[in-house]
């Protein structure tokens, strides 16, 4: 029960990330937002790792997993996702992120050389068919405010996020703490990306950036990057990567609600239909992992 609760909290936190990213890119370039969320998160995470006396992984295999999970989760994913959010709606981004369990489950089971159950395949196929209709059916729905290019960038970010989840989940399963995976993963790449802040948009004046933009970036850096990843890596390691990953199909719920409240985004009939198809796929796939 604790594992499911932790995973659900992470999913709710991440559900708001498309809205926070959409707010942040309204005043800053997407590359600046992507780099800032990792740099700020890392500058907070490294002192926490020292405070809690968390050591680096002891062996080479675990260190490689740490580097892989950190790059995928804190460099590749935020860059592709933030570039995509500029050209799509928070609603679309939220629903596309619901496809994460498909990639995560496939990567995890391929890594462990396991064969998914037939019901899992059926459920995931239904969900991904809904994703395809969402992305390529935009000509049928004029209320989206999205684009195919933006949607595909968000979809591509799923692959890196999922690979990072699997690497982080394996670290937890191998006995390395989720806090260590998160703190050192984001901290390592924060140090790598820090010089980029002086190259990307060097004329940006921090004091001229509206307060709500900094609140959105702080949420991405702390709520999503630190709290969300700690809970998620721990849940994946304790509850099984393929099983827990399916809960991300529920991620669009908070994202869609917040997009309507904070951004005033509207959606049409196609969005409603695809939401139903994706959620039905999630339910069907979850039955295979009971």
d(CA 191, CA 38): 9
The structure's pTM equals: 0.88
Task: Please compute, for residue 121, the number of CA atoms within 13 A of its CA located in the half-sphere on the CB side.
Answer: 6
Task: Judge whether 166 and 106 are in contact, CB under 8 Å.
Answer: no
pLDDT at 108: 87
pLDDT of residue 289: 59
Closest C-alpha among 28, 44, 37, 94 to residue 217: 37
CA atoms within 13 A on the CB side of 19: 24
Question: Which residues are CB-neighbours of 14 under 8 A, at least 6 positions away?
Answer: 97, 224, 228, 232, 248, 251
pLDDT tens sequence for the chain (290 residues): 788 889 888 988 988 999 999 999 999 999 999 999 999 999 999 999 999 999 999 899 999 999 999 999 999 999 999 999 999 999 899 888 887 878 888 898 899 888 888 888 898 889 889 888 888 886 666 556 778 899 999 999 999 999 999 999 899 888 899 899 999 999 999 999 999 988 887 777 778 889 999 999 999 999 999 998 889 888 888 887 767 876 776 777 778 888 888 888 877 778 888 888 887 887 787 676 55
Give yes or no for a contact between 282 and 102, defined as CB atoms under 8 angstroms apart.
no
To the nearest 10°, the Cα dihedral for 219, 222, 90, 103? -170
Read off the tokens for 136.
Answer: 């390529």
Distance, CA of 225 to CA of 204 (rounded, Å): 23
Q: What is the pLDDT of residue 141?
A: 63
Q: What does the DSSP assignment read for 211-245?
A: HHHHHHHHIIIIIIIIIIHHHHHHHHHHH-HHHHH
Residue 142: the pLDDT is 57
User: Could you report how far apart the first and last alpha carbons of the chain are, in Å?
Assistant: 14
Q: Could you give the C-alpha distances from 206 to 38, 190, 202, 209, in angstroms and in order?
A: 17, 18, 11, 5
Judge contact between 29 and 200, C-beta under 8 A.
Answer: yes
């Amino acid at each position: 029960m604790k594992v499911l609760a932790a995973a659900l909290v992470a999913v709710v936190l991440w559900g708001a990330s498309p809205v926070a990213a959409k707010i942040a890119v309204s005043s800053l370039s997407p590359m600046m937002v992507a780099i800032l969320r990792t740099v700020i998160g890392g500058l907070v995470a490294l002192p926490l790792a020292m405070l809690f006396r968390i050591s680096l992984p002891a062996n080479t295999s675990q260190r490689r997993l740490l580097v892989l999970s950190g790059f995928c989760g804190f460099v590749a994913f935020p860059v592709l996702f933030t570039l995509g959010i500029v050209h799509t709606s928070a609603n679309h981004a939220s629903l596309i992120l619901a496809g994460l369990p498909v990639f995560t489950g496939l990567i995890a089971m391929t890594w462990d050389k396991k064969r998914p159950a037939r019901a899992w395949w059926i459920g995931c196929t239904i969900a991904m068919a809904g994703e395809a209709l969402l992305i390529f059916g935009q000509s049928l729905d004029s209320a989206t405010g999205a684009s195919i290019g933006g949607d595909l960038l968000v979809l591509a970010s799923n692959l890196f996020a999922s690979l990072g989840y699997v690497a982080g989940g394996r670290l937890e399963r191998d006995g390395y703490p989720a806090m260590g995976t998160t703190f050192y993963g984001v901290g390592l790449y924060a140090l790598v990306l820090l010089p980029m802040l002086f190259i990307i948009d060097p004329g940006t004046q921090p004091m001229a950036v509206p307060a709500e933009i900094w609140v959105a970036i702080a949420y991405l850096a702390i709520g999503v990057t630190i709290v969300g990843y700690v809970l998620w890596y721990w849940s994946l390691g304790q509850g099984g990567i393929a099983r827990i990953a399916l809960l991300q199909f529920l991620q669009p719920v908070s994202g869609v609600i917040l997009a309507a409240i904070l951004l005033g985004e509207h959606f049409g009939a196609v969005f409603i239909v695809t939401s139903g198809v994706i959620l039905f796929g999630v339910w069907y796939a979850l039955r295979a992992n009971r």
